[in-house]
Amino acid sequence: MNKGETTVVNETKEKQKTYSFDEAISASTIYFNGDEMAAKVWVNKYALKDSFGNIYERSPEDMHRRLAKEIARIETKYANPMSCLLYTSPSPRDRTRSRMPSSA
């Protein structure tokens, strides 16, 4: 069986195709308009891999698709995704200079 034919089952029970290093470099070089150095950096540092080194993304396009799908999955859990931002308007107590008593 070729490395490109190996499949695994992820959390959603769908099979994921693996790619050889050369397949990923080739597709990534096209994505980076012939820049092989950028392609190698992407495959080595950013492509989705498991602990055995199996590569699950052929190019940054695959990574963008995966990230967009994950963000969409998370956003479906909230009625208004923007409402879960960490920053909110300042509270009145934020206007005070110190919370310590002046005698301290």
User: pTM (2 decimals)?
Assistant: 0.61
Residue 28 lies in a domain: yes
Q: Collapsing DSSP states into helix, strand and coil, what is residue 9?
A: strand
HSE-up of residue 87 (Cα within 13 Å, Cβ side): 0
15 lies in which domain range?
3-80
Q: Cβ contacts of residue 85 below 8 Å, gap of 6+?
A: none
pLDDT tens across 24-58, in order? 999 999 999 999 999 999 999 999 999 999 999 99
Q: Does residue 40 lie within any of the structural domains?
A: yes
Identify whether 86 is part of a domain.
no
**Considering its fold, how many domains does the chain have in total?**
1
